[in-house]
Structure 1
Amino acid sequence: MRKIRVSFNLLFSFALLFGLFSPSHVLAEETNEANIKVQLLSVNDLHGRIDNEAEYEDQDGDGEEELTGPMNYLAAYLKQYEAQNENTLIVHSGDMIGGSPLVSALFQDEPTVEIMEEIGFDVGTVGNHEFDEGIDEMLRMVNGGEHPEGTPGYDGMDFPVVAANVQYKDSKELMLDPYFVQEIAGQKIGFIGVATTETPNMIVQTGNENLEITDETEAINQYVPELKEQGVKSIIVLAHNPGYQEGDVITGDAADIANGVDDEVDVIIAAHNHVKLNGYVDDKLIVQAYEYGEAFGAIDLEIDPATGDIVKKSAEIVIADKEEIEADENVSAILDTYEAKVAELKSEVVGEAAIDLEGGYGIRGEVGDNALGNLIADGMKEAMNADFAFMNGGGIRDDISAGDITFGDLFDVQPFGNTLIKAEFTGTQIEEILNLQISEQYGPDYSVSGLKYTWQGETQEVVNILLPDGSKMKKNETYTLVVNNYMYYDNDQMINEYGQNQEQGPNDLDATVDFVKSFDEPIKYEAEGRISQVEAPSEGNNGKDDQANKSEEKKEEAKENKEEKGKAATYVVKSGDTLWAIALSAYGNGAEWNKIFDANKDVISNPNQIFIGQKIILP
């Protein structure tokens, strides 16, 4: 599926193209023909998107969009660049696996590792997503060992993975080597890896209880002296840390690290927020090359052979335009193998729908729930044996048509690989959570299971919460609630702050698949009034006709919006995006943000709050 990739540094990108800023940075020493020329090719935030395709804005000034393809095209670019300089190393700065599509995720991301090995990566580090399934699985991916859902004989990564600040909480011992030294053309280059200290707050807790991430700058500075003692004067940091660039100014964690680390560090290869970085902080080159294998950093270094120091460094960010190169045959063969396996799995029938099952957000009206949301929430409740379950509308990405339900259908509905979390809450806290998810403009968000509630449109607050037996929920009693990890850690909600005695559960998709499989008859879920808006009575019939009319109007509007979506381009929101920036890139006029907002009211409740991973349409 194609998406339009929006540049976060549009003006700066064009300035570079037209020579307004120099892409090189020369230190005090001038270029010397005797210097050793070394090339680093860097990739970040792949997320197993080995089958990814995307469109980029015109990057080379020829008036044409760049079209990126699957990993076989990036492989061709990397091998082509490597052939131009025998002193080339291919590196990455984390999140190469995790949050992956079907073609990689169904095999524990081992297909991604296989492709990385075919390309010839030399060293990398870990990001937060390498811990998606816990410490043991991260170590298995690095060191090898078979997994029931993996590939036979998996033997780990054939290149070193380093992390100087990732340690066991109890023993304080590092999980991985802190650095790696590669000798090339007689020169020693040291690579130190670090992961963002935010990692423990962004990952599942089960399996990561003993994970501790120490300060990045302190960890780097701890090991620079060791490298110096070994005669290493050229030092590269692989940092799964974000940065932000406006013009030639870089800020954020990557910049803070550059300002804080020993000046023997020459280059910081950043990651995590999926943007373009190419600039300097404290004479240290900082590079980040977007995301998903759609681009790479081409970093040119010159090393003085007399001192071992890097005396010149520059970089360019190269879009892997598939129209400019032939796909790599070896990687294509690997992709074909797994895509064939995925095709078979995607077509596996796991159930049957008696009628169309529509999903999405809750809506205003007397009947505010939807069939698919009810189904998913019931499956979550069943999987975790909880009292209640809530499912966010933005996490329901597709509908289910009447007929056979395949694994691929359900993957399209829930593609994020979220994990279920159950915790304890008081009835008062449950009510507050429900209040927070009601938008003043658009009404409720969550689908619910285990309860019904009414809410007042004028105040956007819950009126009554009823249990399945018709009794009211007790505010002082403790209940168990299950949500997905995205919802649990959403800073705009209070779920994480309120939750007690947290329990980690299965993948949300697995819970839905298992629930669908449990039905002996075709599934006939319908909207049934689990969510109901209560308004002031109107003439004669307590407003029931008005409520019914509003509900039908909302359903018709949603149907029309879905039809329109099929005619428009889609875009996946990235870190740092705003509707203004997206409109500026898509239409050349940021003031047209309201056009995007109006077309996406089913997924965007507040134009000032859009979230990473949201799929929106560009009308």
Structure 2
Amino acid sequence: MLAGGTCLAALAALGIYGQAYADADPVNVQLLSITDFHRQFAPPTGADAELPGPNGEKLTVGGANYLAAHIKKIQEGQENSLLLSAGDQFGGYPYESWEYLDEPVVEAFNTMGVDVSTVGNHEIDLSLDYLKRTVDGTCFGEPGVDSCFDDSTGKRFHGSEFDMSSSNLVNAKGELQYEPYVVKKVTTPDGTKIPVGIINGTVTGTEKMNSNYTKEYKTTDLVEAVNKYAAKLKAKGVNAIVVNVHEGAKPKNPDAPYNGCEEISGPLMDAAAKISPDVDAIMGGHRDGRFNCSVPDPAGNPRFVIEAGDRGNVVNEMNLALDPSTGEVVREESTSENHAVTRDIEPDAEMKKVTDYWIEKGEKAAASEVAKNSGDISRKKDDSGESTLGNWAADINLAASEQTDGGKADFGLVATESHKGATSLNGDMFFAKSEYPGDADGRVTAFEVWKAYGFGNPILTVPLTGAQIEAGLEQQWTATKFAPLGVSSNVKYSFDADAAIGDRVNPADVQINGETLDPAKTYRVSMLAYTALGLDGFAAFKEFKDFEKGPHDQWFVRGFLKDNPELTPSETDRVSVK
């Protein structure tokens, strides 16, 4: 880790390098890159634990304790070393960090010694304020109960010890939300400092992703932002410049060796062809790719373009040789290598204390009671495709719409199955004791409900015409599958199972709040962004022209249950078959 960071200011004096260094050996700065950690404390299992090796073998990899151990091993003997994250340390499946507002990830990254992180799309899933709170360490509600939990040392959460940066994340007014770059100083043998500029960026289009979908912020063109700030850094006398962005690429062959560069394609490679020659290396993320390339910049000079996998399975080590007389990178003397985070070394003891603490704390929270149920609320469907869990989730979506600017929607719906992609219903809330720790008859645990509904999506309220709603209902059927839509309790409709696909629902048989569906009328409909964007195969719904963003699914459910802790399965009388 390098001492001292500079953002935007106090750089004027950094552009002068003594002639005495003209014949001196290059000064090495080691840059380590990790990306898309996704809250992965425990070693992953199954396919996520496998990494294709250079000779076709499968390596067992991953786990925060092993990641920290490999990082320390790679850093041994290095005077100038920086650890960079290319974003998405938040987001993903593991429960414990979600439960504690990603404060566990921040502690882990502080412990690991991360110096700089770019803002990934998942860091701002919920809001700009969510990330700023974790960076600044500010509390809301009751400290230790609602936020600012005690960490593994017994101290109150204090925020990140690393710089958060993005050159292209702006609010609705177009104002940058973070410093666009960070400057760190490399120490020469005689103690002189050489600046290294790190320009960071967020994947363009984040605001339109299903886990973010928002009007609160937007991401500008990544290449334009990078080139703008590369020129600014160069003008300030910073001659060693690297890019650390949450955008990536992938090899054509998913089993390609993790340290190779064969048939790599994607937005990062497209951007690399346009990013200024003033940039000496590019580190990416987001696409979960694993590659280590050297490709020509626009001036024809080779530079490294890399991506270090995901969930802590790879660390990239880049050693840049700096000319002490100019502060420029001597590219031909620089190296880059992807390292597999294997489990054949001793896990890091310091990180193990952190992960053990939070995993145990998460397990206790997951086993806690959040509600009681008087019967099964499950995915089991009747002949009409209706289920008690689908009904409950549709009712949840309708209730969530009350937090939008326009107030309560006309009705809510949920895709109980998908024609493509994922589904938001992934568990059941049975009355009988389940396999979940802490469960008992009639008891609903925090993990049980977290698993049952939601996958980190905002609940949108969108305007749709009656004709578009009818089209969406018709899209429940294809030639190969019936993917039912759950509807809220104020909706009743019937369909003709023997009619032709695309003609099974008659608008006259659809009742919303006791009134017949009017094809010409516009209704406000509440659903997950994933469904509204057509990602689960209901293309009719993505025709909306505007939207109101409500709360995120799992967060809303948690608050909803505090006020409504008694769950009763609905009657399955909302949909009928003629």
Give the share of equivalent positions with the same residue, in percent.
27
Identify which of 115, 120, 131 aligns with 2:113: 120
Following the alignment from structure 2 to structure 1, what is the Cα–Cα distance between the partners of residues 462 and 532?
10
Following the alignment from structure 1 to structure 2, what is the Cα–Cα distance between the partners of residues 154 and 57?
34
Following the alignment from structure 2 to structure 1, what is the Cα–Cα distance between the partners of residues 559 and 531?
21
Is residue 378 from structure 1 mapped to residue 395 from structure 2 by the alignment? yes
TM-score of the superposition, structure 2-length normalised? 0.78
Following the alignment from structure 2 to structure 1, what is the Cα–Cα distance between the partners of residues 235 and 564?
66
Deviations 1:535-557 (A, max 9, x none): xxxxxxxxxxxxxxxxxxxxxxx
Partner of 1:302: 321
Deviates more, 1:106-115 or 1:36-45: 36-45
1:461 CA displacement: 3.7
Contact 1:93 1:270 in 2 (8 A): yes
Partner of 2:519: 475
User: How many residues are aligned here?
Assistant: 496
Following the alignment from structure 1 to structure 2, what is the Cα–Cα distance between the partners of residues 224 and 512?
44
More helix by share: 1
Deviations 1:182-223 (A, max 9, x none): 1223332210011122112116778x6352322212212212
Is residue 441 from structure 1 mapped to residue 475 from structure 2 by the alignment? no
Contact 2:370 2:565 in 1 (8 A): no
1:44 CA displacement: 1.0
* Structure 2 unmatched runs, 5+: 1-22, 150-155, 189-193, 253-260, 297-301, 402-407, 418-422, 432-440
Following the alignment from structure 1 to structure 2, what is the Cα–Cα distance between the partners of residues 61 and 241?
25
1:397 CA displacement: 0.9
Partner of 2:207: 200
Is residue 183 from structure 1 mapped to residue 202 from structure 2 by the alignment? no
Is residue 164 from structure 1 mapped to residue 164 from structure 2 by the alignment? no
Partner of 1:51: 42
Following the alignment from structure 2 to structure 1, what is the Cα–Cα distance between the partners of residues 559 and 235?
57
Give secondary structure in 1 for the equivalent of 2:280. Answer: strand
Following the alignment from structure 1 to structure 2, what is the Cα–Cα distance between the partners of residues 520 and 296?
45
Partner of 2:549: 504
Partner of 2:66: 73
Following the alignment from structure 1 to structure 2, what is the Cα–Cα distance between the partners of residues 225 and 61?
38
Following the alignment from structure 1 to structure 2, what is the Cα–Cα distance between the partners of residues 46 and 354?
39
Partner of 2:430: 401
Identify which of 172, 175, 183 aligns with 1:173: 175
Partner of 1:459: 501
1:163 CA displacement: 1.6
Deviates more, 1:42-51 or 1:55-64: 55-64
* Structure 1 unmatched runs, 5+: 1-31, 535-619
Change (3 A) 1:91 1:455: farther
Partner of 2:9: none
Following the alignment from structure 1 to structure 2, what is the Cα–Cα distance between the partners of residues 522 and 413?
14
1:64 CA displacement: 6.2
Following the alignment from structure 2 to structure 1, what is the Cα–Cα distance between the partners of residues 126 and 51?
38
Change (3 A) 1:205 1:97: closer
Is residue 36 from structure 1 mapped to residue 27 from structure 2 by the alignment? yes
Contact 1:180 1:190 in 2 (8 A): yes
RMSD, aligned CA = 2.9
Give secondary structure in 2 for the equivalent of 1:462. Answer: coil
Following the alignment from structure 1 to structure 2, what is the Cα–Cα distance between the partners of residues 511 and 210?
19
1:126 CA displacement: 0.8
Deviations 1:553-575 (A, max 9, x none): xxxxxxxxxxxxxxxxxxxxxxx
Following the alignment from structure 2 to structure 1, what is the Cα–Cα distance between the partners of residues 548 and 262?
46
Contact 1:56 1:65 in 2 (8 A): no
Give secondary structure in 1 for the equivalent of 2:547. Answer: strand
Following the alignment from structure 1 to structure 2, what is the Cα–Cα distance between the partners of residues 413 and 326?
37
Following the alignment from structure 2 to structure 1, what is the Cα–Cα distance between the partners of residues 125 and 318?
30
Contact 2:43 2:49 in 1 (8 A): no
Give secondary structure in 2 for the equivalent of 1:420. Answer: strand
1:82-231 equivalent positions in 2, closer than 5 A: 82-99=75-92, 101-148=94-141, 149-152=146-149, 153-170=156-173, 172-186=174-188, 187-202=194-209, 209-231=215-237
TM-score of the superposition, structure 1-length normalised? 0.73
Deviates more, 1:81-90 or 1:60-69: 60-69
Contact 1:234 1:310 in 2 (8 A): no
The amino acid across from 1:342 in the alignment is G
The amino acid across from 2:428 in the alignment is D
Deviations 1:125-175 (A, max 9, x none): 1112222122222223333312333225543322222222223342x4322
Deviations 1:493-550 (A, max 9, x none): 4466433552222222244455666667663446x2544555xxxxxxxxxxxxxxxx
Following the alignment from structure 1 to structure 2, what is the Cα–Cα distance between the partners of residues 359 and 511?
20
Following the alignment from structure 2 to structure 1, what is the Cα–Cα distance between the partners of residues 429 and 397?
18
Deviations 1:46-98 (A, max 9, x none): 22223351344453468864333431221111111111423221001111223
Give secondary structure in 1 for the equivalent of 2:386. Answer: coil
Contact 1:377 1:389 in 2 (8 A): yes
Change (3 A) 1:176 1:120: same
The amino acid across from 1:317 in the alignment is N
Give secondary structure in 1 for the equivalent of 2:516. Answer: coil
Identify which of 304, 308, 313 aligns with 2:334: 313
Partner of 1:345: 365
